[in-house]
Amino acid sequence: MDAEAKERLVDEFRACLEDWAEESLEGGIRNEPPVDLSLLFAELSVLRNEVRIEARQFKTALDDMRALTELLREQNQRLTRDLERARETMGSTQRQSERRLLLDLLDVRDRLDAAVSVFRGYQPSFIARFASAETKLAHGLGEGIELTLRRLDDLLVDRRVRPIEAVGGHLDPNTMRAVSIEVLPAHFSGEVLREVRRGYMREDELLRPAEVIVNKLENPS
């Protein structure tokens, strides 16, 4: 309530008291002591001052509460931003660590795949056929490497890693890198003929580009 409204209420109350005093005198109420209006007005003035002081104190407290609320809101927003940055940094760091680990696993897979190819192409000599123990050992070693390779492939699948299908398709500069070219008229220009090193994707992210040999014709039809 503003000061003008308070003054208006006090004036209206004073007028009511004056009317009530006049009516009491005119009605014959002579035995009761007259109302001391000056004392009453003084008490009202004191009451009005107390109300003003309490209103100012309440306004000050309200302003302090608003300032505290605004400070808490700003701190909450700052804390939320800090948590988001920390979460993003942690996620990025973890993803980079997983990427390095997966690249190391792909290098191991390349070596295992090369070893499996060697064992699959292994044909024991005539003399080696008489050494049954050595021949069985070689076959057992080859089977163990193949089993390890399959388990590694299952692990890569669980990590959402898939090979890039390159051979027979067009050269994709986003996922492939041509390391050599050949000229084969039976194939179209830009066709991927062979893989030197297989490429891999992790979901929609390029993990390792494929290194390929590409066909190139001088005058492609």
The pLDDT of residue 199 is above 50 = yes
Minimal CA–CA distance to 198: which of 112, 121, 101? 112
Q: What is the pTM of this model?
A: 0.55
Residue in 177, 213, 208 with CA at minimum distance from that of residue 194? 213
> pLDDT tens for residues 79-105?
778 778 877 777 777 888 888 889 999
**pLDDT tens digits along 109-147:** 998 888 888 777 665 554 455 455 656 666 777 788 888
> What's the pLDDT at 29?
46
Expressed in angstroms, the distance from the first to the final Cα of the chain is 92
pLDDT in tens, 145-190: 888 889 999 999 998 999 999 999 999 999 999 999 999 999 999 9
Look over the chain and give the mean of its residue pLDDT values, rounded to a whole number: 79
